[in-house]
Chain A
Amino acid sequence: MTEVAQARKSRLRKFEYWTAALLAAAWLFGLASFVAADGHFEATLPRLRPPAPGLQNLALWDLGPTVRASSFYGDWLSHHHPLFVVDGREHPDLVEKWACGEHDLHPFIEITWRELHDIERVVIRHAGWIESAALTARRYTIRTLTATGYGPSQDVDSNQEAVASYDLTCRGSRGIRIEFKRNKGDDIVRVYEVEAWGR
Chain B
Amino acid sequence: MSRRRVTLALATIFLVGLVVRLLALRFEPPHHPDEFFQYLEPAWRRLTGAGVETWEWRNGVRSWVLPGYHGAWMALLMRLGVRDGIKLATVLRCHWALLSLTLVWAGWRGGALLARRQSKESDGTGSPRQATDVQAPPAGWQGGLLGALFCAAFPLLVRFSVHTLSELASMLCLVWALVLSGELAENAGPGCRKKALWIGTLLGFGVWLRIQHAPVALLPVLWLLVARRSRLLAWVAVAALIPTLLFGVVDKLTWGGFFSSYIDYVRFNLLESGADIFGKKPPGWYAQQFFHRLPVGLPLLGVLCLFGLRASWPFVSAALALVVLLSTQAHKEERFAMLLWPLVLISAAGYAGAWLAARTSKTSKTSAFEATADAPPSRYRVWLARVAVGILATIILADGALHARGNDFPGLSRSRFEAQAWVGAQQDVTGLLYDEPLFTGGYLWFGRSFPQLLFKPGLLANPLVSHVMVPRDSSEMRTAQGSGFATVFSSGNIVVLRRKAGVR
> Footprint of B on A, CB under 8 Å?
1, 26-31, 33-35, 37, 39-43, 45-46, 61-62, 69, 71-77, 79, 81, 83-84, 87-89, 92-93, 95-96, 101-103
Query: What is the CB-to-nearest-CB distance from B420 to chain A, in angstroms, rounded to a whole number?
Result: 14
- Contact assessment for A34 and B74 in the assembled complex, using a CB-CB cutoff below 8 Å: yes
- Contact assessment for B451 and A27 in the assembled complex, using a CB-CB cutoff below 8 Å: no
Stretch of B49-57, B172-180, B317-325, B403-411 that contacts chain A: B49-57
Given contacts A34-B71, A75-B53, contact A62 B459 (CB under 8 A): no
Contact partner, A26, options B54, B76, B430, Cβ 8 Å: B76
> Nearest residue in A to B48 (C-beta to C-beta)?
A41
Given contacts A33-B75, A33-B79, contact A96 B462 (CB under 8 A): yes
14 contacts between A and B (CB under 8 A): A26-B76, A28-B72, A30-B72, A30-B74, A34-B75, A39-B46, A43-B448, A46-B428, A72-B49, A74-B53, A79-B454, A83-B430, A83-B431, A96-B459
> Nearest residue in B to A88 (C-beta to C-beta)?
B463
CB-defined contacts of A76 to chain B, threshold 8 Å: 52, 54, 437-438, 454
Q: Is B252 close to A, CB under 8 A?
A: no
- Contact assessment for A34 and B453 in the assembled complex, using a CB-CB cutoff below 8 Å: no
Given A27-B76, A33-B79, A81-B453; 13 other pairs, CB 8 A cutoff: A31-B72, A31-B75, A33-B78, A34-B47, A41-B50, A43-B449, A43-B450, A46-B427, A71-B49, A74-B53, A75-B54, A87-B463, A87-B464
CB-defined contacts of A33 to chain B, threshold 8 Å: 72, 75-76, 78-79
Closest 7 CB pairs of A and B: A30-B76, A41-B49, A33-B75, A81-B451, A30-B72, A31-B72, A43-B449
Query: What is the CB-to-nearest-CB distance from A135 to chain B, in angstroms, rounded to a whole number?
Result: 18
How far is A175 from B462 in the complex, measured between Cα atoms in Å?
Answer: 23
Given contacts A75-B52, A76-B54, A76-B438, contact A34 B430 (CB under 8 A): no
How far is A154 from B449 in the complex, measured between Cα atoms in Å?
Answer: 30
Contact partner, A34, options B43, B461, B464, Cβ 8 Å: B43
Per-position binary interface string of chain B over residues 28-63, scored 1 when its CB falls under 8 Å from any chain A CB and 0 otherwise: 000000000000000101111111111100100000
> Nearest residue in A to B438 (C-beta to C-beta)?
A76
Q: Is B215 close to A, CB under 8 A?
A: no
Q: Is B292 close to A, CB under 8 A?
A: no
Contact partner, B68, options A31, A39, A96, Cβ 8 Å: A31
How far is A28 from B456 in the complex, measured between Cα atoms in Å?
Answer: 43
Query: What is the CB-to-nearest-CB distance from B431 to chain A, in angstroms, rounded to a whole number?
Result: 8
| Among A37, A73, A84: residue with most chain B CB under 10 A | A37
> Nearest residue in B to A67 (C-beta to C-beta)?
B449
CB-defined contacts of B438 to chain A, threshold 8 Å: 76
CB-defined contacts of A95 to chain B, threshold 8 Å: 453, 456, 459
Query: What is the CB-to-nearest-CB distance from A2 to chain B, in angstroms, rounded to a whole number?
Result: 9
> Nearest residue in A to B465 (C-beta to C-beta)?
A87
CB-defined contacts of A45 to chain B, threshold 8 Å: 430, 464
Given contacts A34-B71, A39-B45, A61-B463, contact A77 B454 (CB under 8 A): yes
- Contact assessment for B464 and A75 in the assembled complex, using a CB-CB cutoff below 8 Å: no
Query: What is the CB-to-nearest-CB distance from B416 to chain A, in angstroms, rounded to a whole number?
Result: 14
Given contacts A33-B79, A41-B50, A75-B52, contact A93 B459 (CB under 8 A): yes
Q: Is B458 close to A, CB under 8 A?
A: yes
> Nearest residue in A to B459 (C-beta to C-beta)?
A93
How far is A77 from B71 in the complex, measured between Cα atoms in Å?
Answer: 25
CB-defined contacts of B73 to chain A, threshold 8 Å: 27, 30
- Contact assessment for B462 and A30 in the assembled complex, using a CB-CB cutoff below 8 Å: no
Q: Is B452 close to A, CB under 8 A?
A: yes
How far is A39 from B64 in the complex, measured between Cα atoms in Å?
Answer: 14
Number of B residues near A (Cβ < 8 Å) is 44
CB-defined contacts of A84 to chain B, threshold 8 Å: 451, 462, 464
CB-defined contacts of B53 to chain A, threshold 8 Å: 73-75, 101
Query: What is the CB-to-nearest-CB distance from A90 to chain B, in angstroms, rounded to a whole number?
Result: 10
CB-defined contacts of A62 to chain B, threshold 8 Å: 463
Given contacts A30-B79, A34-B68, A93-B458, contact A74 B52 (CB under 8 A): yes
Given contacts A30-B75, A96-B459, contact A41 B454 (CB under 8 A): no
Query: What is the CB-to-nearest-CB distance from A82 to chain B, in angstroms, rounded to a whole number?
Result: 9
> Nearest residue in A to B452 (C-beta to C-beta)?
A79
| Among B55, B58, B462: residue with most chain A CB under 10 A | B462
- Contact assessment for B79 and A83 in the assembled complex, using a CB-CB cutoff below 8 Å: no
Contact partner, B76, options A29, A39, A46, A102, Cβ 8 Å: A29
How far is A83 from B438 in the complex, measured between Cα atoms in Å?
Answer: 22
Query: What is the CB-to-nearest-CB distance from A71 to chain B, in angstroms, rounded to a whole number?
Result: 7
> Nearest residue in A to B449 (C-beta to C-beta)?
A43
Contact partner, B453, options A27, A39, A79, Cβ 8 Å: A79
How far is A93 from B438 in the complex, measured between Cα atoms in Å?
Answer: 21
CB-defined contacts of B58 to chain A, threshold 8 Å: 75, 102-103
How far is A88 from B462 in the complex, measured between Cα atoms in Å?
Answer: 9
CB-defined contacts of A71 to chain B, threshold 8 Å: 49
> Nearest residue in A to B46 (C-beta to C-beta)?
A39
CB-defined contacts of A42 to chain B, threshold 8 Å: 49, 449
Per-position binary interface string of chain B over residues 133-150, scored 1 when its CB falls under 8 Å from any chain A CB and 0 otherwise: 010000000000000000
> Nearest residue in A to B443 (C-beta to C-beta)?
A74
Per-position binary interface string of chain B over residues 72-96, scored 1 when its CB falls under 8 Å from any chain A CB and 0 otherwise: 1111111100000000000000000
How far is A88 from B463 in the complex, measured between Cα atoms in Å?
Answer: 8
| Among B51, B79, B452, B463: residue with most chain A CB under 10 A | B463
CB-defined contacts of B52 to chain A, threshold 8 Å: 74-76, 79
Considering the complex, which residues of chain B in the window 449-484 have a beta carbon less than 8 Å from any beta carbon of chain A?
449-454, 456, 458-459, 461-464
How far is A113 from B205 in the complex, measured between Cα atoms in Å?
Answer: 48
How far is A36 from B432 in the complex, measured between Cα atoms in Å?
Answer: 30
Query: What is the CB-to-nearest-CB distance from A94 to chain B, in angstroms, rounded to a whole number?
Result: 10
CB-defined contacts of A43 to chain B, threshold 8 Å: 50, 448-450
CB-defined contacts of B71 to chain A, threshold 8 Å: 30-31, 34
> Nearest residue in B to A69 (C-beta to C-beta)?
B49
CB-defined contacts of B427 to chain A, threshold 8 Å: 46
CB-defined contacts of B452 to chain A, threshold 8 Å: 79
